[in-house]
Amino acid sequence: MSAALLIDILLWGSVLGVGLIAFRRGPAVFMASLREGSMDFINIVPRIALGVIGSGYIAAIIPQEVITGWLGPDSGWLGVATAVVAGAATPGGPVIGFSIGTVALKSGGGMPQVVAYVVAWALFAFQRVILWEIPFMPARFVWFRCAVSVPFPFVAAAIAMVIGKP
Amino acid sequence: MRKPIGWSTIIIAVLVAVSAGLVWRRDGADGVLDILTHDLSLFSGILPRVLAGCLLGAFISEILPHEKVSRSLGPKSGLMGLLIGTAFGAILPGGPFTAYPVASALLAVGADFGATIAMVVSWTLIGYGRAVAWEIPIMGTDFTLWRIVISLPLPVLAGALGRFVYVRLYPKPLAKDDEN
């Protein structure tokens, strides 16, 4: 819990810092940004609500065992492709994603496949995209960003194949 | 930022409705309610952070010098712009509630898709926050460092690909920039 507290202190400290800079530009600038930020908040809340509550249901119909099963010792590029899909479909936060990666490593998953899984999870995990990226960013940007990111788990796997294990 | 209801919201809402229906068929009304109460408490917990993120984004887009941002992160910022975006994403503290509002603010004040993609991808792949808090404890230091080394070139490559595709998909906004 202390980590969460640290994050909150850091977060509100940053808000205070940039708020202070805005205030020194003049109270009008400060008030305008404050109003802008509050309006954004009001607009974003329904989308975040949909994301949080909704991704819980989506996660509930994707059993974790299915994801782990996709990360078997299947080697080669087919294994990499499966790992990429598994990374995008993994429900939940970082604990689940990295734990699945660890299980895959211990149960004989290949290094390039596990790297592809972790990178794909970082780039596409649907819960983060639905819950955070789409509410906060222009939708066109998010879809575009996801589309141009598709090759990169494969690039990471290729680099892993070339440079070998750690 | 965007209008409250767009196509993405509609698609997500449909996905959610279908999933909730499947949960209802499998676990009954109790299953649906269990998830709802759990997620509602999660939702109330993150609301303050969402507010902080929104304020952060609003203040940052107000205080950033627009010309400087579009010069160093805009469509014509070249490799340097992608590198700046990558470095910025790697050192940005906090979680998704800081990264996405800040990225959105950068877009609003003149960064292009390429540099912003480099920033977002860098935050998610080489940012230290998640690596220190989760990846090292769960996956081990060796794997994490090795994975980060492999990921180092990816943000710049993703940003470059983004820029390359964007110019071809949407030639008009760029032509407008040329006139300025």
Computed from CA positions of residues B18, B20, B23, B24, in that sequence, does the dihedral angle turn out positive or negative?
negative
Q: Which of B35, B88, B147 is the mutation pick for testing A, counting most A CBs within 10 A? A: B147
The residue assigned the tokens 């530009």 is: A25
User: CA-to-CA distance for A129 and A146, rounded, in angstroms?
Assistant: 9
Residue A166 pLDDT > 70: no
Residue B179 pLDDT > 60: no
Closest Cα in chain B, distance from residue A3 (Å): 8
Locate the domains of chain B by residue range.
1-63, 66-179
Locate the domains of chain A by residue range.
2-43, 62-163
Nearest to B6 by CA among A138, A55, A132: A138
The residue assigned the tokens 């540099």 is: B115
Query: Tokens representing B5?
Result: 């209801």
Find how far residue A20's CA is from the centre of its chain: 30
Mean pLDDT, chain B, rounded, equals 89
Nearest residue, CB atoms, A33 vs list B15, B58, B93: B58
Give the pLDDT confidence of A36-50 residue by residue, as tens digits.
Answer: 999 999 989 998 998
Using the Cβ of A16 and the Cβ atoms of chain B, whether some distance falls under 8 Å is answered with: no
Find how far residue A42's CA is from the centre of its chain: 23
* Over residues B117-122, mean pLDDT: 97
Are B22 and A61 a contacting pair at CB < 8 A? yes
Q: What's the pLDDT at B35?
A: 92
Give the pLDDT confidence of B27-63 residue by residue, as tens digits.
Answer: 999 999 999 999 999 899 889 999 999 999 999 999 9
Nearest residue, CB atoms, B63 vs list A25, A133, A135: A25
* Inter-chain contacts counted by CB atoms under 8 A, chains A and B: 243
Q: What's the pLDDT at B177?
A: 46
Using the Cβ of A18 and the Cβ atoms of chain B, whether some distance falls under 8 Å is answered with: yes
Interface predicted TM-score (ipTM) of this complex, two decimals: 0.89
Q: Which residue does chain B place closest to A131, by CA atoms? A: B96
Are B97 and A132 a contacting pair at CB < 8 A? yes
Task: Name A107's Cβ contacts closer than 8 Å, sequence gap at least 6.
Answer: A72, A73
Q: What's the pLDDT at A34?
A: 94
Nearest to B148 by CA among B117, B170, B171, B127: B127
Q: What's the pLDDT at B51?
A: 94
Q: What's the pLDDT at A74?
A: 65
Give the pLDDT confidence of A38-96 residue by residue, as tens digits.
Answer: 999 998 999 899 888 888 898 888 877 777 777 766 678 988 999 999 999 988 788 88
Helices within chain A (DSSP H only): 2-24, 27-60, 64-70, 76-89, 94-106, 111-124, 126-128, 134-136, 139-149, 151-163
Task: Name B142's Cβ contacts closer than 8 Å, sequence gap at least 6.
Answer: A166
Q: Please say whether the beta carbons of B108 and A70 come within 8 A.
A: no
Chain B hits for A31, CB-CB cut-off 8 Å, are none
Are A12 and B52 a contacting pair at CB < 8 A? yes
Q: Which of A9, A45, A98 is the mutation pick for testing B, counting most B CBs within 10 A? A: A98
Are B53 and A136 a contacting pair at CB < 8 A? yes
Q: Please say whether the beta carbons of B75 and B163 come within 8 A.
A: yes
Q: What's the pLDDT at A73?
A: 63
Give the pLDDT confidence of B65-116 residue by residue, as tens digits.
Answer: 899 999 999 999 999 999 999 999 999 877 888 899 999 999 999 999 999 9
Nearest 10 degrees: CA dihedral of B49, A102, A96, A155? Answer: 70
Residue B3 pLDDT class (50, 70, 90 cuts): low
The model carries a pTM of 0.88
* Over residues B117-140, mean pLDDT: 92
Residue A4 pLDDT > 90: no
Query: Tokens representing A79?
Result: 């294994």
Query: DSSP assignment of chain B, as one string?
Result: ---SS-HHHHHHHHHHHHHHHHHHHHHHHHHHHHHHHHHHHHHHHHHHHHHHHHHHHHHHHHHS-HHHHHHHHSTT-HHHHHHHHHHHHHH--S-HHHHHHHHHHHHHTT--HHHHHHHHHHHHHT-HHHIIIIIHHHH-HHHHHHHHHHHTTHHHHHHHHHHHHHHHH-HHHHHHHHH-
Q: Amino acid identity of A134?
A: I
Give the pLDDT confidence of B134-144 residue by residue, as tens digits.
Answer: 899 999 999 99
Are B59 and A33 a contacting pair at CB < 8 A? yes
